[in-house]
Chain A
Amino acid sequence: MARRQTPSQTVGPFFAYGLTPEQYGFDQMTSLGSGAMAGADTDGTRIRLEGRVYDAEGAVVPDAMIEVWQADAQGRYAHPADGRGSNAGFSGFGRFGTGTDPENRFIFDTVKPGSVGAGQAPHLNLVVFMRGMPLHAYTRVYFPDEAEANATDPVLALVPADRRGTLIATAKPGSSGGYVFDIHLRGDRETVFFDV
């Protein structure tokens, strides 16, 4: 190969005005991604996915940026490589910094994705960026009410059984359509990260 891949570097602590300006109150630029992923016209079951990022000592990370990429309710991605055509008006992309919520959560208001096929259970693809992380980390979010589909998902099958639970959100008690997905960087509950 003629060229080598450009090295990654940390997103650092001051990404907010460049990547999530509106969320952080900067009016100089519009945001290209936010936590409000589903519009009024988006088909599908509304869900709220929220969570926190915990460091190796269990402290909540207040300066992480989370990106999600998901299929629409019919399991189609808004991308040319998915030839099935996508749900008009739903981009499937969300981006949220953990610095504005009083509890330092990331919060995505979206629709529950459908299965994208190939035996895959409904899931969101999620990337973690933060100060202190030189290279972003990929993970996936699965749903607790899809036990049957999760049981045959080919990606979950790659994960040791005792760690699969780290990839499955929990239903938020007392909410309708609320799910919690906490991310643990290290320790007993360390979230599974993938080499994709």
Chain B
Amino acid sequence: MADAEYNPRDWDTQPAYLSPEYKSTILRSPGKPLIPLPQSLSEVTGPVFGHEALNPLDNDLTKNGIKTGGEPLGERIIVTGRVLDEKERPQANTLIEIWQCNAAGRYIHAADQHDAPLDPNFFGGGRCVTDENGVYKFTTVKPAAYPWGNHTNAWRPAHIHFSLFGPAFVTRLVTQCYFPGDPLLSLDPIFNATPKAHGNALVMDFSLDVTEEGFALGYKFDFVLRGRKATPMET
């Protein structure tokens, strides 16, 4: 047994594997219960990424995909916040990767066949590593809603995909963050797969403090990863 163990997954806040209104889960969810595995060195270690792995423009999606010399179309936004554990301890030096569609609702991915225009100056992928206070910051354009095939007239609410590592393989988190006040949220089976009491934990806050005068609107979002278990001394 390793000396540092992490809190278990908080199943109250997590979506179920099988969430039938999100139809793809029916064929893609495990059928049998998960088997509990006590954490060992294999679980409390995980890949380490440093700032040196990144390029300077990786966290600026308004600049990292420019192909024709112009800027991407859309409403510029800043998304920033902290990566914490349950006790609000900052998670420094953790890699955050993001991807999103453009301001017209189209992903650059070849499999996206939605009939909305690509933007020659927008790639949609980015990443950064949190600083010593657990702070991250991205500059991008606001993604748009787009249709998908789950049911008749299904539209995904605008969202940004986030992937975080944290300090161990068990702290891995992949999620999506949404925009406040979006009428599509209550209609979205993916968003709704999250337990009702915790779905709003995925909605960013608009922030005038983060907003930059004459440049971009600001949004704040804090991520909470699994933290180290309290030792007897701390309880």
- What is the interface of chain A, defined by CB distance below 8 A to chain B? 1-19, 21, 24, 26, 28-30, 32-33, 55-57, 59, 61, 63, 67, 69, 71, 77-82, 91-93, 99, 116-118, 120, 123, 125, 127, 129-138, 140, 155, 158-159, 185-187, 190-196
Any chain A CB within 8 A of the CB of B65?
yes
B224 with A6: CB separation less than 8 A: yes
Main secondary structure of the interface of B (DSSP, over half): loop
- Chain B: residues with Cβ within 8 Å of the partner, total of 90
The distance in angstroms between the C-alpha atoms of A119 and B7, with both chains bound, is 24
Whether the Cβ atoms of A17 and B47 lie closer than 8 Å is no
State how many angstroms separate the Cβ of A57 from the closest Cβ of chain B.
Answer: 6
A interface, over-half SS: loop
Is B207 positioned at the interface, with any CB of A under 8 Å from its CB? no
The answer to whether B112 has its CB under 8 Å from any CB of chain A is: yes
B201 within 8 A of A: yes
Residues of chain B in range 5-42 having any CB-CB distance to chain A below 8 Å: 7-10, 12-17, 19, 22, 24-32, 34-37, 39-42
| Residues in B lying within 8 Å of A, measured CB to CB | 1-4, 7-10, 12-17, 19, 22, 24-32, 34-37, 39-49, 53, 55, 58, 64-65, 84-88, 95, 97-99, 101, 107-112, 123-127, 161, 163, 168-170, 172-176, 190-191, 193-195, 198-199, 201-202, 222-226
Please judge, given known A-B contacts A9-B15, A132-B22, A190-B30, whether A14 and B201 are in contact too, CB under 8 Å.
no
Q: Which residues of A contact B124 (CB under 8 A)?
A: 17-18
Say whether B9 contacts A5, CB under 8 Å. yes
Closest Cβ of chain B to A166, distance in Å, is 10
With both chains docked as a complex, state the minimum distance between the C-beta of B14 and any C-beta of chain A, in angstroms: 6
CB contact between B36 and one of A9, A11, A29, A195 (< 8 Å): that residue = A195
